[in-house]
Amino acid sequence: MQGEEILGKIIATSGDEFYTPMPKDYKPGKTKYVVVTGSVISGIGKGTISSTLCKLLQDRGLEVEPIKLEAYLNVDAGTLNPFRHGEVFVLDDGTETDLDLGTYERMLDKNLGKDNFVTSGRIYANIIEKERAGKYLGRDVQFIPHVTGEIKKVLRDLAVKTKADAIVIEIGGTVGDYENMFALEALRELHYEEGHGNVCFINITYILQPKTLGEQKSKAAQLGIKRMIELGIQPDIIVCRSESKLHDSIRKKISLNVNVPLENVFGVNDVSNIYSLPLALRKTGFDEAVLDVVGLNKRFKTNGNKVIREWNKKTSVHGKAQPLAVAIAGKYTGCADTYISILKALEHCSFKLNRKVKVKWVDTTELEARDVKKALSDVDGVIIPGGFGIRGIEGKVAVAKYCRENDIPYLGLCLGFQVALIEIARDKLGLKEANSTEFEPKTPHPVIDILPEQKKIEGLGGNMRLGGKDVELKPGTIAAKIHDNEKTIRRRFRHRFECNPEYIEQFEKAGVVFSGKAPGQPIMQVLELPKHCFFMASQFHPEFTSRPLHPDELFLEFARACEKK
- 44: phi then psi, degrees, rounded to nearest 5: -100, 5
Q: What is the side-by-side order of every strand in the sheet holding 434-436?
A: 434-436, 445-449, 498-499
Check residues 183 and 84 and name the one with the higher pLDDT.
183
When pLDDT is averaged across residues 235-262 and rounded to a whole number, the result is: 95
Residue 11 has pLDDT above 60, yes or no: no
Confidence of residue 51 (pLDDT cuts 50, 70, 90): very high
- 145: phi then psi, degrees, rounded to nearest 5: -105, 0
Catalytic position from the list 146, 348, 495, 541: 541
| Strand positions, DSSP E, 72-176 | 89-90, 96-97, 117-119, 166-171
- Predicted pLDDT of residue 272: 84
The identity of residue 183, as a single letter, is A
- Predicted pLDDT of residue 455: 56
Residue 482: name the closest of 390, 559, 395 by CA.
559
When pLDDT is averaged across residues 451-462 and rounded to a whole number, the result is: 54
Helix (H, G, I), strand (E, B) or coil at 69: strand
Percentages (nearest 5) of helix, strand, coil residues in the chain: 40, 20, 40
Residue 82 has pLDDT above 90, yes or no: no
State the Cα–Cα distance between residues 501 and 510, nearest whole angstrom.
15
Check residues 196 and 285 and name the one with the higher pLDDT.
285
Contact 237, 168 (CB under 8 A): no
State the Cα–Cα distance between residues 317 and 17, nearest whole angstrom.
57
Catalytic position from the list 70, 543, 557, 562: 543
- Of the ranges 11-25, 246-260, 297-311, which one carries the lowest mean pLDDT score? 11-25
- Predicted pLDDT of residue 18: 66
Q: CA angle at residue 402 from 397 to 404, to 5 degrees?
A: 95
**What tens digit of pLDDT does each residue of 393-447 get?**
999 999 999 999 999 999 999 999 999 999 999 999 999 999 999 999 999 999 9
State the Cα–Cα distance between residues 218 and 213, nearest whole angstrom.
13
* Neighbour tally for 373: CB within 10 Å: 11
**What tens digit of pLDDT does each residue of 86-130 get?**
899 999 999 999 999 999 999 999 999 999 999 999 999 999 999
State the Cα–Cα distance between residues 218 and 220, nearest whole angstrom.
6
- Predicted pLDDT of residue 460: 46
State the Cα–Cα distance between residues 491 and 545, nearest whole angstrom.
7
Contact 337, 99 (CB under 8 A): yes
C-alpha to C-alpha distances, 439 to 80, 173, 261, nearest whole angstrom: 20, 35, 59
Q: What is the side-by-side order of every strand in the sheet holding 265-269?
A: 117-119, 64-70, 166-171, 32-38, 199-206, 237-242, 265-269
Catalytic position from the list 403, 414, 499, 562: 414
Look up 318 and say whether it is catalytic: no
C-alpha to C-alpha distances, 529 to 136, 444, 479, 513, 554, nearest whole angstrom: 60, 25, 11, 6, 14
The identity of residue 77, as a single letter, is A
Helix (H, G, I), strand (E, B) or coil at 154: helix
Residue 6 has pLDDT above 70, yes or no: no
- Predicted pLDDT of residue 485: 96
Q: Determine the length of the chain.
A: 565
Confidence of residue 270 (pLDDT cuts 50, 70, 90): confident
State the Cα–Cα distance between residues 162 and 221, nearest whole angstrom.
35
- Predicted pLDDT of residue 461: 47
Q: How high does pLDDT run on average in the chain?
A: 92
Look up 541 and say whether it is catalytic: yes
Say which DSSP state 242 is in.
E
- pTM, 2 dp: 0.93
Helix (H, G, I), strand (E, B) or coil at 228: helix
Helix (H, G, I), strand (E, B) or coil at 270: coil
State the Cα–Cα distance between residues 422 and 449, nearest whole angstrom.
11
State the Cα–Cα distance between residues 203 and 530, nearest whole angstrom.
53
**What tens digit of pLDDT does each residue of 198-211 get?**
999 999 999 999 98
| Strand positions, DSSP E, 6-129 | 32-38, 64-70, 89-90, 96-97, 117-119
Say which DSSP state 84 is in.
H
- 468: phi then psi, degrees, rounded to nearest 5: -75, 135
Look up 483 and say whether it is catalytic: no
**What tens digit of pLDDT does each residue of 55-68 get?**
999 999 999 999 99
Contact 200, 293 (CB under 8 A): yes
Helix axes 415-427, 393-405, angle to 10 degrees: 70
Structural domains of the chain in order of their starting residue, each with its CATH number = 20-314 (3.40.50.300), 323-564 (3.40.50.880)
